[in-house]
Chain A
Amino acid sequence: MQNWFAGDENGKGGIYNFVTKRGLCAGVNSKISWTQVETGSAITWKYPGCILVGDNSVGEFYSVALTNNKQQADTGTKMVHIGKNTRSTIISKGISAGRSNNSYRGQVKIGPKADGARNYSQCDSMLIGSDAGANTFPYLQVQNNTAKVEHEASTSKIGEDQLFYFTQRGVSSEDAISMMISGFCKDVFNQLPMEFAVEADRLLSLKLEGSVG
């Protein structure tokens, strides 16, 4: 969970967070799972990756990245499949509010000896308001014809009309956004321990306070 100082409304004075994180699945049947909730810093570049060397090893990446004001986040993962029957799952949820920019950038590389390797990637973006941006950059390199690589992406938007639907039913805008964001992030937060997921939920609501309406 990252929540660095993001600077003022224009990102002035905010921290730059450039991170390299890699994990090596060396043994047979080994597993690495990354789960990140990324809400901080003015500029973030972060790509926790897995190198799947051991046969049957598993790599997972679950991510929620939220940007507001003028924050920029460029985050994702690298899954390098080297061993046989290696599997990886990528679930990335990006939320952009204010005038921020949020990109998913991920590489899935299947080496020539990675027979039967499988990857499933799902990248969902949510825009709040009309000035935010979301991008998805998947890099897929497949050098083994028995491998199976899937990528799905979607973009949705919380607009004024959806908020009005909630408020017309007596629900405040803040609660409406929290509900929609929790729903959007459910797949990732389900990976977290319950108490932690509740905290993550609150952190997102806090970070989005006053961003709409």
Chain B
Amino acid sequence: MINENSEVILSVQNLTARIDNTPILKGVNLEIKAGEIHAIMGPNGSGKSTFSKVLAGHPDYTVTEGEIVFQGQNLLELEPEERARAGVFLAFQYPLEITGVSNLDFLRVAYNSSAKHHGLEELDAFDFDELVQKKLGLVKMDARFLDRSVNEGFSGGEKKRNEILQMALLEPKLAILDETDSGLDIDALKIVANGGERTGAAGQCNVTHHPLPTIAELCGARLCSCDGRRAYSHHWL
């Protein structure tokens, strides 16, 4: 499945990052090519989530060294929203609850900001509704989720499914799934595992702390281990 000649989507070199004055990432290297699925593993506190957030541009973290090149662009020069529009998607470990903003509105604004960036037509409420109904089927979610406030009162599993719905809508080039497997039942897991394929994500990066990485197992991933120093990838199995 993995073609050694395929295009490099993400190249991380010697990435060093800190929060306040605590260094967390100490020179991480990672290369992801089109079609590859990687799993980042490591014990609690080894920097897996930090790594995901740094890729997405979370403002709490300061990158002190190294570079991230995403499809030829220097990611570190881009704001979080620009990274997202360029096709970097982070499925949150703890999806946030947004009171008063309906899931449907949230999805539509997110979709349209990406569409606009790519010079595509922005969808009005009716056209978008049509699109979202299709994607709902893909992740087997109930349409009632759309009218509720974003993630508010959602169960843990529902929140994770909602992340996958967003991923399906935004069709990212690189999907980073931070512990998306925890809190999901086996059916939902399969959806996530196949998610990259179904949503057309070119590369996928799974973050998990499981000793037996369920997701990785399901989708036959390449493994990397993150010990705060370096992530090295090798075939698993």
Contact = CB atoms under 8 A, between A and B. Distances in A.
Contacts, number: 74
Contact of A172 (B57, B81, B89): B81
Interface stretch (B66-74, B104-112, B210-218, B221-229): B104-112
7 contacts: A164-B58, A168-B90, A172-B81, A179-B101, A179-B105, A180-B101, A184-B99
A164 B89 CA distance: 12
Contacts of A160: 59-60
Interface residues of B, number: 31
B50 interface: no
Contacts of B161: none
A170 interface: yes
Contact of A169 (B59, B79, B117, B170): B170
B153 to A, nearest CB: 14
Contacts of B57: 167-168
Contacts of B84: 167-170
B98 A165 contact: yes
Given A171-B113, A213-B59, A161 B81 contact: no
Contacts of A164: 56, 58-59, 80
Contacts of B102: 183
B95 to A, nearest CB: 7
Nearest to B79: A167
Interface centre among A162, A169, A182, A184, by most chain B C-beta atoms within 10 angstroms, is A169
B119 interface: no
Interface centre among B89, B100, B109, B170, by most chain A C-beta atoms within 10 angstroms, is B100
Contacts of A191: none
A71 to B, nearest CB: 23
